[in-house]
Amino acid sequence: MEGSSLTVLGIPGSLRRDSFNLSLIERAAALAPEGVDFDIFGQLGAIPHFNQDSEGERTPSAVLDLRRRIDAADAILIATPEYNSSIPGVLKNALDWASRPPGESVLADKPAAVVGASPGRYGAIRAQAEVRKVLGAIGAAVLEQELAVPRAHEILAAPGATEAAEIERDLAAMVMALARLAGVPARAKLSDAVAYSRECQRLAAAG
């Protein structure tokens, strides 16, 4: 890490102004080691519903901005809430847009990690698993670690408490693990998901 600079794109998966997951991303940025900078993407609400008819020259400007910022970042950190035991629709929609075009996604082989906060008892564990699955299908290099923040309305509101200190310790460790993953030279071999996607695209064009 010495002498290097890495940028992590933080994506909170909630549109709420006082989102627990935005707070989690902001804390991750504050805990980042020297040489790791955060860019926080807070415009999920500006991204229209995915529509294949709106691709190519018709791609919405908000989507182009998302792709540009993912491409410019060395890694991404997603903080997701949990809605009905799964991933929020706005976050899934953004990842669907970022996965395009097939075989050329800016998320391909991009180091990524997922955390989550929820007022409930489980800290968005199921949603985190769903986000990691989606990122893996796109071809990102996903950290398997999870960080669940249950009772977020209590824990995040008491930064000096023992539970909050433990969360911050684990969050700092995850940022370090993500930075180490991003610092590894790019793999020469495409991930299986990306290679499969490109082969499907080639066959479709040939047919």
User: According to the model, what pLDDT value does residue 190 have?
Assistant: 41
Cis status of the peptide bond prior to 101, with omega within 30 of 0: yes
User: According to the model, what pLDDT value does residue 159 have?
Assistant: 66
What length is written for the chain?
207
CB 174 within 8 A of CB 78: no
Encode pLDDT of 43-98 as tens digits: 999 999 999 999 999 999 999 999 999 999 999 999 999 999 999 999 999 999 99
Sign of CA pseudo-dihedral 175, 70, 90, 143 = negative
Angle between helices 162-183 and 20-31 in degrees, nearest 10: 60
Q: Where does 118-191 show beta strands of DSSP type E?
A: 141-142, 148-149
Q: Report CA-CA distances (Å) from 205 to 95, 102, 104, 198.
A: 24, 12, 15, 11
Q: Say whether 81 sits in a helix, a strand or coil.
A: coil
- Class of the CATH-defined domain 6-206: alpha beta
Encode pLDDT of 130-174 as tens digits: 999 999 999 999 998 889 988 888 877 766 667 878 889 999 999
CB 181 within 8 A of CB 143: yes
Report the percentage of the chain scoring pLDDT > 70: 85
CB 154 within 8 A of CB 115: no
pTM: 0.85
